[in-house]
Amino acid sequence: QEDVFKKVVSHAKEYGFIFPSSEIYDGLSAIYDYGQNGAELKNNIKQYWWKAMVQMNENIVGIDSAIFMHPTIWKASGHVDAFNDPLIDNKDSKKRFRADVLLEDYCAKLEDKAQKEIEKAAKRFGDSFNEEEFVSTNPRVLEYRQKQKTILERLAKSLTNNDLADVKSLIEELEIADPDTGSKNWTEVRQFNLMFGTKLGAASESATDLYLRPETAQGIFVNYLNVQKTSRHKLPFGIAQIGKAFRNEIVARQFIFRMREFEQMEMQYFVPPGTELTFYEEWKQKRLNWHLALGLGNENYKFHDHEKLAHYANAAADIEFKFPFGFKELEGIHSRTDFDLSAHEKFSGKKLQYFDNERNESYVPYVVETSVGLDRLFLAIFSNSLKDEVLEDGSERTVLSLPPALAPVKAAILPLMKKDGLGEYAEKIFDDLKFDFNLIYEEKDSIGKRYRRNDAIGTPFCITIDHDSLVDNTVTIRDRDTMKQERVAVADLRRIIDEKVNF
């Protein structure tokens, strides 16, 4: 698994998808830059989401609010007081950890042990194996599962009560060690706020302390009435947004899975009070279906319903994806109640009520949100698409089998050679198709090498121009996935490409 992940990281760099930020200065922890192919793939993912959210839903509109916001917003939203992670240091290794993650990792190991028992038994019993019966009766599996439950419940309770001493006791009782050094010498647990601060204004004495937004949602909440009045949508209606968010994550690892600067694609759906749980269920299903439509394999997704709810929610679930390092959160669906809008009413002193004609009353709407990390989705798609294949003739190739609609380059235009007018002919094809598709033109190296390079960045089609092309206006088109080559008329290229790469 670790090898697969390493390959993902190095492939992303080698083929112009993702570079460590500020690399010539040895990088900046958990910050990344998107290269020429990464920027295209990321833009295509954004469009795919925006289209499904805004274009295909009559009652959802999109906005683009500023990253800087009035500092009181983060008081009202609860972020100043509660957007914390529990932090613990190891006194010997001087390394810093999230206390909750140490405990969750411990539970994941218990679960691994349970899975091993199940696998062993499955092998032993063969066809007659009944998993359900086994897990409900096998004493070892029951013990592993019960222990996890006890730990997670105690963790949730201690964090809710801000009983940080108990979180530390739990770590000590379980004898959890620094995974690298084995040291069990821990400091106290303390809360660490994840928001980045900055200053607005030139003169330091009059400058205002601001935060970089840790989520895009608040830009939607404070604009909801502006949008509602100008769009004249009735409830239920939604506001969508794609934008940067910033979190000073304590442990930033796992590449673009957990970054300090990242992008979110969020949609807040405003609904009448009392209807929120129905819409919550509806959006859970809609969002899962949207992910499944990408075709990365239904077995790679699962829901995780939250027991420990954030300060603003009355129901919450994650859509988890099977990343190279296991199932992890990809998207959150939260029923946020009227928590945010009511708090903004209180802190701003402005009325944020909606008049409902049918009910003939005014109220603060309830909110159901869907929130997916663009970079996490990028990682899910990218890592799932990267494959090493052994071909029929025994040779190997690396192919990035991205959904064609998302591929950074839709077709590569490849003259067999530059001379004899093939170069000019290929350029003409390029110029004719460039209005509709992102293309690349390559005339260097053998055609085989050029095919391999395009496989590695996920280009659905390679179009080769040879001497016959000049005679009969046909070209060879090669399909990335089947590697089949077909002779087609130049006049048909636009239609053939379009059929495959359209959303």
Binding site for ligand ATP (CB under 6 A): 215, 247, 249, 258-259, 262, 264, 329-332, 371-373, 375-376
Contacts of 477 (CB under 8 A, 6+ apart): 461, 462, 463, 464, 485, 486, 488, 493, 496
Q: How far is the CB of 458 from ligand ATP (least distance, A)?
A: 22
Q: How far is the CB of 371 from ligand ATP (least distance, A)?
A: 4
Does 371 belong to an annotated binding site? Answer: yes
Chain-centroid distance of CA 3 in Å reads: 21
Does 98 belong to an annotated binding site? Answer: yes
Q: How far is the CB of 489 from ligand ATP (least distance, A)?
A: 45
Q: Decide if 277 contacts 257 (C-beta within 8 A).
A: no
Nearer residue to ligand ATP within complex by CB, 367 or 475? 367
- Annotate 155-190 with DSSP letters as a single string: HHHHHHTT-HHHHHHHHHHTT---TTT----B---E
Does 259 belong to an annotated binding site? Answer: yes
Nearer residue to ligand ATP within complex by CB, 318 or 455? 318
Nearer residue to ligand ATP within complex by CB, 243 or 415? 243
Does 369 belong to an annotated binding site? Answer: yes
For the chain, the helix, strand and coil percentages under 3-state DSSP, each to the nearest 5: 45, 25, 30
Does 174 belong to an annotated binding site? Answer: no
Tokens of 296: 């990365």
Task: Tell me the one-letter amino acid at 260.
Answer: R
On the CB side of 157, CA atoms within 13 Å amount to 8
Nearer residue to ligand ATP within complex by CB, 214 or 272? 214
Nearer residue to ligand ATP within complex by CB, 91 or 311? 311
Q: How far is the CB of 215 from ligand ATP (least distance, A)?
A: 6
Does 336 belong to an annotated binding site? Answer: no
For residue 457, is it left (φ>0), alpha (ψ between -120 and 50) or beta?
alpha
Does 450 belong to an annotated binding site? Answer: no
The residue number with the shortest CB distance to ligand ATP is 373
Does 260 belong to an annotated binding site? Answer: yes
Tokens of 317: 């679930």
Nearer residue to ligand ATP within complex by CB, 108 or 200? 108
On the CB side of 457, CA atoms within 13 Å amount to 29
Q: How far is the CB of 294 from ligand ATP (least distance, A)?
A: 15
Q: How far is the CB of 204 from ligand ATP (least distance, A)?
A: 30
Task: Tell me the one-letter amino acid at 281.
Answer: E
- Annotate 429-483 with DSSP letters as a single string: HHHHHTTTS-EEE--SS-HHHHHHHHHHHT-SEEEEE-HHHHHHSEEEEEETTT-
Binding residues for substrate: 98, 215, 262-266, 369-373
Binding residues: 98, 215, 247-249, 257-266, 329-330, 369-376
Binding residues for ATP: 247-249, 257-262, 329-330, 373-376
